[in-house]
Amino acid sequence: MKLNLKEKAVRVFSSTEFRIIFLIVGFLTLIILRRSMGVFGLALGYLYVGFISLAGFWFGIKGGLISATVASFIFLSEVNFFHYAAFRDLVIRGMFLRFLIYYLGGIGMGYLSNIEKGLRERLKVLAYYDELTGCVNFRWTMTILENEIARANRYSKSLAVAMVDIDHFKKINDTYGHLAGNDVLRCFAQILKESVRNVDIVGRYGGEEFLLIFPEATSEDVLTVLRRIRDRLSQTRIVSSHLKGGIFVKFSAGVASFPYNGEDLSSILSSADSALYYAKKSGRDRFLVERRRWLRLKPAKKVKIEIKESTSGRKIEAKEVFNISRRGVLLLFPQDISSQEFVCCFYLSEGKNTPAEFKCKLIHKDRSKEDIYRVGVYFVDIPKEVQEEIESFKNSHLP
pLDDT greater than 70 at residue 142: yes
Supply the pLDDT for residue 305. Answer: 78
**Are the C-beta atoms of residues 275 and 254 closer than 8 Å to each other?**
yes
**Same CATH topology for 138-289 and 300-397?**
no
- The more confident residue out of 21 and 364 is 21
What are 118-138's pLDDT values in tens digits? 777 776 766 788 889 989 999
What are 31-53's pLDDT values in tens digits? 777 767 655 555 556 677 888 88
pLDDT greater than 70 at residue 4: no
State if pTM tops 0.75.
no
Q: With b meaning 16 or more CB within 10 Å and e meaning fewer, what string describes 309-326?
A: beeeeeebebeebbbbbe
Supply the pLDDT for residue 393. Answer: 62
Where does the pLDDT of residue 203 fall: very low under 50, low under 70, confident under 90, or very high at 90 and above?
very high
pLDDT greater than 90 at residue 170: yes
Percent of the chain with pLDDT over 70: 81
Where does the pLDDT of residue 272 fall: very low under 50, low under 70, confident under 90, or very high at 90 and above?
very high
Nearest-angstrom CA–CA distance, 214 and 221: 9
pLDDT greater than 50 at residue 368: yes
pLDDT greater than 60 at residue 298: no
- The more confident residue out of 112 and 192 is 192
- The more confident residue out of 260 and 206 is 206
Average pLDDT over residues 107-113: 84
Distance of CA 75 to the CA centre of its chain: 52
Q: Phi and psi at residue 158, in whole multiples of 5°?
A: -85, 160
Lowest mean pLDDT among 30-34, 262-266, 282-286: 30-34
| Whole-angstrom Cα Rg for the chain | 34
Where does the pLDDT of residue 2 fall: very low under 50, low under 70, confident under 90, or very high at 90 and above?
very low
**Are the C-beta atoms of residues 343 and 326 closer than 8 Å to each other?**
no
For every residue of 26-59, DSSP letters joined together read HHHHHHHHHHHHTB--HHHHTHHHHHHHHHHHHH
Supply the pLDDT for residue 360. Answer: 87
- The more confident residue out of 156 and 304 is 156
What are 308-350's pLDDT values in tens digits? 888 888 888 888 877 777 677 888 888 888 888 888 887 765 5
Task: For residue 190, give the nearest of 249, 242, 244 by alpha carbon.
Answer: 249
Task: Specify the CATH number of the domain 138-289.
Answer: 3.30.70.270
Supply the pLDDT for residue 388. Answer: 75
Distance of CA 37 to the CA centre of its chain: 59
Supply the pLDDT for residue 210. Answer: 97
Supply the pLDDT for residue 141. Answer: 92
> Mean pLDDT in the chain?
81
pLDDT greater than 60 at residue 261: yes
pLDDT greater than 60 at residue 355: yes
pLDDT greater than 70 at residue 158: yes
Q: Provide the residue ranges of all domains of the chain, joining segments of one domain with +.
A: 2-128, 138-289, 300-397
Supply the pLDDT for residue 178. Answer: 92
pLDDT greater than 80 at residue 196: yes
pLDDT greater than 60 at residue 295: no
Average pLDDT over residues 227-232: 95
pLDDT greater than 70 at residue 358: yes
pLDDT greater than 60 at residue 180: yes
Supply the pLDDT for residue 313. Answer: 83
pLDDT greater than 60 at residue 87: no
Q: With b meaning 16 or more CB within 10 Å and e meaning fewer, what string describes 116-154?
A: eeeeeeeeeeeeebbeebebbbeebbbebbeebbeebee
Task: Specify the CATH number of the domain 300-397.
Answer: 2.40.10.220
